Structure 1
């Protein structure tokens, strides 16, 4: 189940960074790690899974990087969370294996915790990458898109 792990937060941050900074051009992983302070070792595995899941598209070559595989409005935070859940040790409804193992824990607490996790995913499905990029813009987060625009007269 859902666990608010570093990989989950890094995955969301990376996808939003790419959406916010790509301007239609591939974004290299080192750019994301530089802007967001995310360790590259965590991000590489996450990015590969996001490509496999159809959230990102990997572009090879010297000017390669990552782009969104579909429109920002069509990717939810829940979509990203589900990919990140595949990467982590998310068994036991996100609870450590030594917690809630008695009869009440097994029959009541763990199933209820699983229901909580599902409700969180439903809420995450209501928030799109576009919603988060719009929030970044409103909050004045600088975007590389403006640095990539060239004017010719």
Structure 2
């Protein structure tokens, strides 16, 4: 399983919003884009998708921008990727066409791998990513002292 550029940018933008969640202030696209080095136009499209998926809200006006709809600990990576890529909890699909034994074996292994990946994605939240990031930043600071 490979992380698409689209998903990586979206997660980075959401991490930025998670870092500012407590303030309750919306972040503007240009702020997020500058902080995470994401093209403005692309970020605008990603945030629109995340808004339709119920992960972020937008606020209009001079002090408008985007913010998370829920606490970062309540938003899983699985939900984010599902919103962007259309992941489905039910990975096993019945096929009408009969399969060969070889293709059935390959499909079983692929389904097992997909289910394992989905379990990991369901386990981690935006809060977990923030904590890992903060922990690594503290370690980096220690190396320079």
Q: TM-score range by the shorter chain?
A: 0.7 to 0.9
Instruction: Note if contact 1:8-1:84 (Cα within 8 Å) is conserved in structure 2.
Output: yes
- Stretches of structure 1 lacking an aligned partner (at least 5 in a row): 88-92, 94-101, 142-153
Question: Displacement of 1:3 after TM fit?
Answer: 4.7
Which residue pairs with 1:147 in the alignment?
none
The alignment's C-alpha RMSD in Å is 2.5
Aligned residue-pair number: 127
CA deviation map 1:5-56 (0-9, x unaligned):
1111111111111111352100111111111111223322221111111111
Q: Contact 1:76–1:124 at 8 Å: present in 2 too?
A: yes
Q: Does 1:4 align with 2:6?
A: no
Displacement of 1:109 in angstroms is 2.7
The structure whose residues are more often helix, as a share, is 2
Pairing 1:40–2:40 present: yes
Task: Give runs of aligned pairs for residues 1-153 of structure 1, distance below 5 A.
Answer: 3-22=2-21, 23-86=23-86, 106-140=103-137
Larger relative contact order (Cα-Cα within 8 Å, sequence gap ≥ 6)? 1
Give TM-score scaled by structure 1 length. 0.71
Note closer, same or farther for the CA distance 1:112–1:35 as it changes in structure 2 (3 Å cut): same
Ranges in structure 2 where 5+ consecutive residues have no aligned partner: 92-98, 139-145
